[in-house]
Structure 1
Amino acid sequence: MTQPQPSLLQLPPFPDIWKYGMLALSILLLLVAFIILMCQLYRCRKDSKFGEGMFQRTLWIKKIQKELKKLGICFSPLANSHSMDNLCSGMDAPDRSQGRLRFSLLYNKERLELLLTVTEALGLPSQGCTNTFVKVRLLSWSSSQSPHLQHIVHEWQTRVAKHSRSPAFGDQFACTLPEADLTKSSIKLQVKHFDRYSRHMPLGEVRIVLNALNTSEKTEFCEELQKATKDTVGEVLVSLKCLPISQRIEVGLLKVKTAFLHNSPEKRIYARIDVFSHLHNQKHQKSKAKTLASTTIFNETFLFYLPEPVAWDCAVLISIYELHPSSKQLVGQAVLGKRGPNNMNDHWHHMMQSIQQPVAKWHPLLI
């Protein structure tokens, strides 16, 4: 028998080592392709997160601008600008009339009681301000060494009226008030737009001086709302120090002067310091709680890091709070900045000229 001759087209069998080598090369190429795919997906995801982060940052900047504007601090609306526009001393309410407010006052001489009834508001603006309430403050001028300061004797708030440009309230408030205090007291009624997630925007206010009040009968009022203003309830002594080498600013809280009617060991206050720049918001810092006095001494300093030279164009907000067992109450706020009224501008200008030297100045506490 003759052996079959191999065909010329038949290839010799590959050794096993070649087969395993080609298999390993295929797996390696597959892994490389998989790694390249994962890198591309990660890059796309990173770019998406960056865009989302920029969007969230823009929203955050707009929210900060809105909050500062309600506090009286106006920044430039450009998101890519590092400069700060003029600090505004007024509130956001326009000068023109924003409607009317109807209320009544009655003083009972026998019971030494003041009765206030907030009836309704008429003709309020319709631009997103349909949920409104009225904040009421009974203010009294101090008879101490600082007669220009006022203190809040009582504070009330009506219910929130929804979806109406002419809301009816009908809330009544009463308090005991000696007849001698009528000559130095006033009522401030401020209509505000209720905002669940932000600060309540003032729409206008009405002020009534009680020394002109007819104490024998009930007096009805229907007054036009005027531009919202703030009252001076104290003063704060603040020192500023510029540290350009370490890119820091030092805020010193030295003294706080208030016009509280009665000071007692039970009353304690503390300060919260916020530093704002156009694209940078430092984490706030708090002082230690101190016993309230006519002049409360703190003598504390706080350092804030500002990473860019343009960030010196910023604002410092100092808020004084009174502590209660389960809550806190705002006493007043002071705003310091480079651009603004003369007292702010002068202090900031002196700080920039006195490098690494503290410059102290009194500023009014407003509410």
Structure 2
Amino acid sequence: MGQPTETPGAPATAGTTTALPGLIPDLVSRIHWPRWALVVLALAAGALVLSCIVCAVCCCRRRQRRRKKPGDKEAVGLGSARSTTTTHPVQPEVDDLESGLQPWGRLQLSLEYDPAAQELKVGLRQAAALKAAGTVDCYARASVSTQPGHRHETRVHHDTPCPVFDETCCFHVPRAELPRASVRVQLFNFRRFSEHEPLGELLLPLGSEDLQHVLERWHQLGPPGSAEPEQVGELCCSLRYVPGSGQLTVVVLEARGLSPALAESFVKVQLVLNRRKWKRRKTSARSGTAAPYFNEAFSFPVPLSQIQSVDLVLAVWARGPQARMEPVGKVLLSARASGQPLQHWADMLAHARRPVAQWHRLQPAREVDRALGLQPRLRLPVPHF
């Protein structure tokens, strides 16, 4: 009697142990949110805490890496170094030496001389380890010092630092001039609308070679030459062929690198069919400039059956100091051409109805005429009265 009785539903006193277990349920009961919202909130809070822990761990690792010096990981004590070193010299690999001293690549070349015909056959086989800024679209140009105006260009090999040319060119070299003659091979990276990038050069004196047998071996390429004395200028033109209508459109755009001493210059556009002159046009003359700009178009009707038999000749004519017009150089574009002109002609046929523009180096007029093998025109006899 006299002891207080607990009424049901009354709150527990501070001294009882039932207060802590009922704290969280009481807080949950006071929040008037649905149960699924509380579960989502709890998961979001857990994900936030977990992401903070991961970020803290990553920051600690980064700070530890920054504090470490690059040489700490590979630091070696002097005692261990003395026990492992030897006094024998180490010979580096030959390929490592060549790659360090000759970064221009290699070229496989073959030489064969025919004493009866006094003809030198230069075989451009393949190249390897060429280096350029970007893609490598390589072609080779071969010439002999005794014939500065005669040179051979291979076709362009796209997207490869190891092109396989497999082309042979012939040069007339008399036996008396053979000891002081030299073969020059230049490799270029083809650029359609800019100057071609030189990749390397090989200058091989023939006086030190035994040409009694066929020679074929690899040569290291050296740095490219700074200038080409045989260059006479360049010409930019655009070709477009429509097979349906049989229309060949030639646009003479501009020239550059001509001699500043020329008074005026123009371009002759000539079509040759079956080794006979067929049609001819010419641009207007430009005066007082070494880089004349023409931008003149000419259309020729050429059926599809004759497109492979047609030769297109672009000749730059200029008036020199002697006040007479002379050909500065020519470009031959056809299926019988070689090098870049052949590639331009093939691109025109492959991309029908689309104009294809490209720069070309001017060749000596005699060399182009010899390659064409033009037959002389029939001349009627002059009647005598």
Which TM-score band (shorter chain)?
A: 0.3 to 0.5
TM-score of the two chains, using structure 2 as the length reference: 0.35
TM-score of the two chains, using structure 1 as the length reference: 0.36
Decide which structure has greater strand share. 1
Q: Name which structure has the greater RCO, CA cutoff 8 Å, separation 6+.
A: 1
